[in-house]
């Protein structure tokens, strides 16, 4: 017989670990769902800023459709579902032309297609540049993936295009110190970010020295290295000689570090573009732009690394007309919308979760207060019996040992016997 503890039989879990695990799973689910109770299809709400999206591999194996939480539960119950975490500006496809004869039980009257939806291989249950499923059946230990805030694809640490996963800004506990990640392919469209001051880049432990001397974006330059060995050497030299933060160092601008790329955009002390390439010659600094350059004529960077952005970096983005036009042209205008960020989404989700937990408590009290005296007494004595039984179980149990399903069944067996004796 399949029981709730069957999965855990092989694992050893103490009571505390089990409770922590359940609570963590509940919290994680609530953070993804963002307060969506999964009762109504979200189609009627239009392209939402962000919501949890699922793909049904049973109905749409080609990965060309996504459905909302409610549809995943009501319309695709028992189907093979891929959880896609959250996606921005996505309209539920459930029952539209992608689903053939299948119709949505919750909101049948949808357009044949949602033209603004975007799909990628995640909808087929595949992730990263390596095109693997998650969890990956061929891998013993699943590594967590990082989501790009632009394309919303997920990537393995070792497939980010870094020299080492140590370059990912993290604290001692391994918690991320960055708010957003931009993958290697999307960082090309966001190369203008290199015109911004140091403060927008997330710094890990190993970057402390550079972060403290954040007078220019030169340390970012090391993330666009082409010739690693020689650059590594010169960086060491600079560090040793205290030259590291000097924006005028030849090694940092158009020198050995950037030489082969040629097109790299580097910013100097004066927050103006210093570029070895002629393509910014026509730049006309605008008085209102934070960057003081015409971003439209700044050349794209040919070969760059993924970006790790610091906390609140989106607030630093210039909102001048030219920059806004540029964001829109590159289809990344959402970066200016605070509510687009995962951080903001999770903040709202946490609030809604707290309201829900309070409401749940209130509902229980209300339910209880409506009962008659005899029913109240029965419930209270039932709870007291359970508490006694559970307490004696816990007191006599070695908490370093795992609880098995037999132990739990024994608690209920004891309670049943007690009731029988009372009757
Ligand atoms: Zn739906
Ligand atoms: Zn389905
Ligand atoms: Zn549906
Ligand atoms: Zn990968
Ligand atoms: Zn990306
Ligand atoms: Zn601007």
Identify which ligand lies nearest to the alpha carbon of 82.
2
The encoded tokens of residue 386 equal 């359970």
Statement: residue 276 has pLDDT above 70? no
Ligand 5 midpoint to CA 148 (Å):
5
> Of the ligands numbered here, which is closest to the C-alpha atom of 159?
4
Q: Worst-scoring range by mean pLDDT, 229-243, 325-339, 376-390?
A: 229-243
Q: What's the gap in Å between 120 CA and the centre of ligand 1?
A: 19
Report how far ligand 1's centroid is from the alpha carbon of 72 (Å).
7
Who surrounds ion ligand 2 at CB < 5 A?
Answer: 56, 58-59, 76, 79
Which bound ligand lies closest to the C-alpha atom of 66? 1
* Residue 290: band (very low, low, confident or very high) from pLDDT cuts 50, 70, 90: confident
Give the residue carrying structure tokens 């970066």. Answer: 335
Region 342-346 average pLDDT? 90
Q: Of the bound ligands, which one is closest to the alpha carbon of residue 160?
A: 4
pLDDT at 224 over 50: no
pLDDT of residue 402: 80
In the prediction, which pLDDT does 404 show? 83
Q: Of 74 and 288, which is predicted with more confidence?
A: 74
Q: What's the pLDDT band for 241 if we cut at 50, 70, 90?
A: very low
Indicate if the pLDDT at residue 246 is higher than 80: no
Neighbours of ion ligand 4 (CB under 5 A): 128, 130, 156, 159
> Residue 7: which residues within 8 A CB-CB, separation 6 or more?
none
Across 183-198, average pLDDT: 91
Q: What gap in Å lies between CA 25 and CA 84, rounded to an integer?
A: 16
Question: Average pLDDT, stretch 398-407?
Answer: 81
pLDDT at 330: 93
Residues of the chain above pLDDT 70, percent = 75
pLDDT over 90 at 403, yes or no: no
Weakest-pLDDT range from 159-173, 278-292, 330-344: 278-292
pLDDT at 100: 93
Q: Is the pLDDT of residue 225 over 50?
A: no
Q: Is the pLDDT of residue 303 over 80?
A: no
CB within 8 A of 356, min separation 6: which ones? 30, 35
Question: What is the pLDDT, as a whole number, of residue 296?
Answer: 59
Residue 363 reports pLDDT greater than 90: no
Task: Give the confidence band of 272 by pLDDT, cuts at 50, 70, 90.
Answer: very low
The residue length of the chain stands at 423
Taking the centre of ligand 3 as the mean of its atom positions, its distance from the CA of residue 102, in whole angstroms, is: 9
- Among the residue ranges 33-47, 224-238, 377-391, 398-412, the one predicted with the least confidence is 224-238
Identify the CA nearest to 181 among candidates 193, 198, 196.
193
Predicted confidence (pLDDT) at residue 127 exceeds the cutoff of 80: yes
Query: Once rounded to an integer, what is the mean pLDDT over residues 163-173?
Result: 92
**What is the per-residue pLDDT for 9?**
52
Mean pLDDT of the chain: 78
Query: 270 alpha carbon to ligand 6 midpoint, in Å?
Result: 16
Name the pLDDT band for 301 (thresholds 50, 70, 90): low
pLDDT at 385: 87
Of residues 293 and 249, the one with the higher pLDDT is: 293
Exposure letters 204-230 (e unless 16+ CB within 10 A, then b): beebeebbeebebbbbbbbbbbbeeee
Cα of 117 from ligand 2 centre, angstroms: 18
Per-residue pLDDT of 86-122, as tens digits, reads: 999 999 999 999 999 999 999 999 999 999 999 999 9
pLDDT at 283: 39
The CA-based diameter of the chain, rounded to the nearest angstrom, is: 94
Distance 122 CA to ligand 1 centre (A): 18
Q: What are phi and psi of 211, to 5 degrees?
A: -65, -35
pLDDT at residue 408, as a whole number:
84
Question: Would you state the pLDDT for residue 423?
Answer: 65
Q: How far is the CA of 287 from the centre of ligand 6 (A)?
A: 9
Ligand nearest to the CA of 155: 4
CA of 141 to the centre of ligand 3 (A): 35
Ligand 5 center to 347 CA (angstroms): 23
Asked whether the predicted pLDDT for residue 67 surpasses 90, the reply is yes
Token pair 């709400």 is at which residue?
Answer: 45
With a cut of 80, say whether residue 215 has pLDDT above it.
no
In terms of C-beta density within 10 A (0-12 exposed, 13-18 middle, 19 or more buried), how is residue 381 classed? exposed
- 265 falls in which pLDDT band (50, 70, 90)? very low
User: Token match 């795992």: residue?
Assistant: 402
Q: Would you call 419 exposed, middle or buried from its count of C-beta atoms within 10 A (0-12, 13-18, 19+)?
A: exposed
Q: How far is Cα 155 from Cα 168, in angstroms, rounded to an integer?
A: 13
Q: What average pLDDT does this structure show over 21-37?
A: 84
In this predicted model, what pLDDT tens digit does every residue of 194-206 receive, in sequence order?
889 999 999 875 4
β-strand pairing of 180-182 with 307-309: antiparallel
pLDDT for res 291 = 83
Closest CA to 224 of 253, 244, 199, 204: 253
Q: Does 247 score more than 90 pLDDT?
A: no
Which is higher by pLDDT, 179 or 3?
A: 179
Find the mean pLDDT for residues 174-179: 92
More confident residue, 1 or 175: 175
Gap between the Cα atoms of 331 and 317, Å rounded: 15
In this prediction, residues 155-164 reach a mean pLDDT of 93
190 alpha carbon, closest ligand: 5
């Amino acid at each position: 017989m399949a029981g709730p503890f069957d999965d855990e039989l092989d694992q050893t879990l103490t009571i505390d670990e089990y409770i922590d695990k359940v609570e963590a799973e509940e919290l994680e689910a609530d953070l993804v769902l963002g307060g969506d109770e999964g009762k109504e299809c979200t189609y009627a709400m239009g392209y939402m800023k962000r919501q949890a999206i699922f793909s049904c591999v049973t109905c749409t194996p080609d990965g060309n459709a996504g459905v909302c939480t409610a549809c995943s539960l009501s319309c695709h119950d028992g189907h093979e579902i891929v959880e896609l975490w959250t996606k921005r500006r996505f309209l539920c496809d459930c029952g539209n032309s992608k689903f053939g004869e299948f119709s949505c039980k919750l909101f049948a009257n949808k357009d044949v297609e949602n033209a603004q939806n975007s799909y990628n291989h995640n909808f087929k249950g595949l992730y990263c540049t390596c095109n693997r499923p998650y969890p990956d059946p061929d891998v013993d230990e699943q590594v967590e993936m990082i989501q790009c805030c632009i394309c919303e694809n997920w990537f393995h640490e070792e497939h980010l295009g870094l020299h080492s996963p140590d370059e990912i800004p993290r604290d001692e506990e391994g918690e991320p110190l960055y708010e957003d990640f931009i993958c290697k392919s999307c960082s090309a469209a966001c190369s203008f970010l290199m015109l911004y001051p140091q403060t927008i880049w997330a710094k890990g432990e190993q970057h402390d020295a550079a972060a403290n001397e954040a007078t220019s974006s030169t340390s970012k330059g090391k993330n666009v290295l082409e010739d690693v060995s020689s650059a590594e050497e010169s960086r060491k030299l600079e560090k040793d000689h205290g030259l590291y933060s000097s924006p005028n160092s030849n090694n940092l601008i158009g020198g050995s570090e950037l030489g082969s790329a040629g097109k790299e955009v580097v910013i100097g002390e004066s927050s103006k573009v210093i570029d070895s390439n002629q393509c910014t010659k026509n730049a006309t600094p605008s008085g209102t732009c934070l960057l003081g350059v015409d971003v439209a004529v700044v050349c794209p960077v040919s070969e760059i690394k993924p970006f790790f952005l610091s906390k609140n970096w989106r607030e630093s983005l210039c909102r001048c007309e030219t920059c806004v036009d540029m964001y829109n042209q590159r289809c990344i205008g959402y970066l200016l919308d605070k509510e687009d960020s995962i951080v903001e989404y999770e903040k709202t989700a946490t609030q809604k979760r707290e309201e829900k937990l309070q409401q749940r408590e209130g509902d229980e009290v209300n339910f209880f207060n409506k009962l008659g005296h005899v029913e109240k007494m029965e419930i209270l004595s039932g709870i007291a019996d359970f508490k006694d039984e559970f307490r004696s179980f816990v007191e006599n149990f070695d908490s370093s040992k795992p609880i098995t399903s037999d132990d739990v069944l024994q608690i209920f067996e004891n309670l049943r016997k007690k009731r029988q004796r009372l009757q």
